[in-house]
Chains A and B, each alone.
Chain A
Amino acid sequence: DIQMTQSPSSLPASVGDRVTIACRASQTINTNVNWYQHKPGQAPKLLIYAASKLQGGVPSRFSGRGSGTDFTLTISSLQPEDFATYYCQQSHRTLGTWTFGQGTKVVIK
């Protein structure tokens, strides 16, 4: 199975900061990586799919990069509503089994 390793697990930050979350796959997965935001009591929300494509309705301060095994999610200027937990997720079609990273909680510094 493909493992997804996220870092850091916790990220203290302030409003206006540029923050970057990393995700590494245990084997090459082309651009089959997605990023989600999750807040307590809510459904997860898709932010980025296919490594770099912004989901409709998601603010442009969110961006994704990467291919192969290394991926990043960047928030260019952190807003108050962005304090949440973020997950990467791989979707290898041939294997059929998918995995999430362990999550990165963005907290107030």
Chain B
Amino acid sequence: EVQLVESGGGLVQPGGSLRLSCPVSGFSLGSYWMSWVRQAPGKGLEWVANIKEDGSEQFYVDSVKGRFTISRDNAKNSLFLQLNSLRVEDTAVYYCARINWGPTGHFDRWGQGTLVTVSS
């Protein structure tokens, strides 16, 4: 069974940092692009970042460029998101998602999400 389980969320002050983790099981992480998607309270889904299978390239939404870093450890079957210089507007549930490229890119498996709250 395919599983993605996010962890690492919590309460942090503005300007602070967090590292989210997403260990996966039931598939070989190294065969898939992966992604982070978030949903702020009362708002819609927002794509945050993608990373290629081998980690060689990453893509970010403009609002997090230079502050967030997506990474992966295929040997440990885990995806990560480092969140630095956090802002109140980064408060959201963060989901990790698997990308399937057949025949076009889509999120075919999702985790349950982890809540990040940025507040003083």
Contacts and interface: CB of A to CB of B under 8 A. Distances in A.
Is B truly associated with A? yes
Interface of A: 1, 30-32, 34, 36, 38, 42-46, 49-50, 55, 85, 87, 89, 91, 93, 96-103
B79 to A, nearest CB: 15
A43 B105 contact: no
Interface string B16-39: 000000000000000000010100
Contacts of B46: 100
A43 B109 CA distance: 9
For B103, B105, B111, B113, which residue has the most chain A Cβ atoms within 10 angstroms?
Answer: B105
Main secondary structure on B side of the interface with A: strand
The number of chain B residues touching the other chain, given as a range, is 20 to 34
Main secondary structure on A side of the interface with B: loop
15 contacts: A32-B104, A36-B45, A43-B110, A43-B113, A44-B107, A44-B110, A46-B106, A91-B105, A93-B104, A97-B61, A98-B50, A99-B47, A100-B44, A100-B46, A103-B45
Nearest to B35: A98
B47 A50 contact: no
A99 B50 CA distance: 12
A91 B106 contact: yes
B34 to A, nearest CB: 13
A6 to B, nearest CB: 9
A44 B112 CA distance: 9
B45 A43 contact: no
Contacts of B61: 97
Contacts of A99: 47
A50 B106 contact: yes
Contact of A96 (B50, B106, B111): B50
A50 B111 CA distance: 22
